[in-house]
Amino acid sequence: MKATILTIGTEILFGTIVNTNSVFLSRQLNDLGVDVLRHITVGDNRGRLLKALQEAYEDCDLVITTGGLGPTEDDLTKETIAEFFGTELVDHPEELEIIRKWFESQGRVMAPNNVKQSWFPKGSVILPNPNGTAPGFYLSDGKRHIYVLPGPPRENVPMFRDHVAPRLSAHEDGFLFYKIIRTTGIGESDLETKLLDLIDNQTDPTIATYAKPFECTFRVASKRATLKEAQDAVEECMIKIRELVGEYIYSEDDKELIEIMMAELKEKGLKLACAESMTGGMFAKMITDVPGASKVFSRGVVTYCNEAKTSELDVKPETLEKYGAISAQTAEEMVRGLNLYSGCPVCISVTGNAGPDADEGKPVGQFFVGLMFCGKVTVKEFRANRNNRNYIREFACYQMVKTVHNALQSID
């Protein structure tokens, strides 16, 4: 099947919200072997919505829409889709009852305009939405299929998984298998150059490279009659790829460096603690984003002001005085103090200048990462080459993860 993802919502054209639905749906559809040919976003506008549907079905047999199912005046998705399929909206009292009950369960009273959420195009299969007021629906004339889902991800994600994916798997012909390979230490065009022969001399598997923040990834994908054939084709290609760029690969199954680092800590039974100045909790947050982080993460301290570095981590006032908070010496004392208080075998610290302005005469983007690993302390200086606060902080967290990861390799 070939699909167009159609997003409906003026707020996206205003740039008020990010279109994460298209990201989720694209990934899911690709995993199911559906080729996503196009994303289109239009406002709540009948004419452009009709035109988008027209365009979509010129080369696709599947359209998935999100948005425009709200109770408000400007939501006209259902009317327009009914018109496009040459049918009309019909009332579903049983759905209205469900919507009314949903409001009750939330301890809220249903607003009158929610009634229109129980109207659907004649002949559509209604897709229940346990997480919101707007049910979705599936409509088809045999050749053209459309799944219509609400906009909020917390509503459409489970709806896709429970009601759309199973129906799609039923239609699918070939099987797609792909691997996302993660590398570090090589740029996109160098990576592409090294893989060029492979990329040029085959149509399946396909290889596509992407630049990501701080690293490069690529996708090796094959679509064959059976899943086994697709897997074998990808694996065969991987053998050549490992010969060409193996030294830069750190993951062959799209695992992030942080996941790998945490799995290694768990496997080795080592506990981690962190002391953050510049990153202000971002590193601890990244670690605890992962469920089960408590198995490897003991604690973090965010010593944002100098006085906190002294009282929480025993950083000497003279050190702060003489070398400044942004210094190798401070990074070292932070990590030693952290180890003393936490007793963790793996302690990491960071101090630096995330900008926007020079601080203590230290340039924006300069930072120091301290590591105390099984009794041994090392400090490394880094420099982010961009004056962007968020970029610098994320880059620092990435280097902290890489530092721990590398240390863990050393004791393999």
Site residues (CB under 8 A) for a second copy, limited to 171-210: 180, 187-190, 192-193, 196, 199-200, 208-210
- Binding status of residue 265 toward a second copy by CB under 8 A: no
Class of residue 324 by CB neighbours under 10 A (exposed 0-12, middle 13-18, buried 19+): middle
- Binding status of residue 84 toward a second copy by CB under 8 A: no
Site for a second copy (CB under 8 A): which residue of 8, 42, 53, 81?
A: 42
Site residues (CB under 8 A) for a second copy, limited to 111-130: 111-114
Could you tell me if 160 and 149 are in contact, meaning their C-beta atoms sit under 8 angstroms apart? yes
Distance in Å, CB of 45 to a second copy, minimum: 8
- Binding status of residue 311 toward a second copy by CB under 8 A: yes
How many C-beta neighbours within 10 Å does residue 399 have? 18
Could you tell me if 274 and 287 are in contact, meaning their C-beta atoms sit under 8 angstroms apart? yes
Distance CA(204)–CA(234), nearest Å, equals 9
Peptide bond into 93 cis (omega under 30): no
Closest-CA residue to 395 (of 403, 103, 123): 403
Residue placing its CB nearer to a second copy in the complex, 34 or 139: 34
Site residues (CB under 8 A) for a second copy, limited to 342-381: 342, 355-356
Residue type at position 225: A
Distance in Å, CB of 251 to a second copy, minimum: 14
Q: In whole angstroms, how far apart are CA 272 and each of 61, 167, 288, 378, 405?
A: 51, 45, 12, 16, 12
Site for a second copy (CB under 8 A): which residue of 7, 66, 222, 366?
A: 7
- Binding status of residue 285 toward a second copy by CB under 8 A: yes
- Binding status of residue 282 toward a second copy by CB under 8 A: yes
Strand-strand pairing, 136-140 and 125-127: antiparallel
Site for a second copy (CB under 8 A): which residue of 27, 171, 322, 383?
A: 27
Residue placing its CB nearer to a second copy in the complex, 248 or 341: 341
Site for a second copy (CB under 8 A): which residue of 32, 98, 100, 131?
A: 131
- Binding status of residue 293 toward a second copy by CB under 8 A: yes
- Binding status of residue 236 toward a second copy by CB under 8 A: no
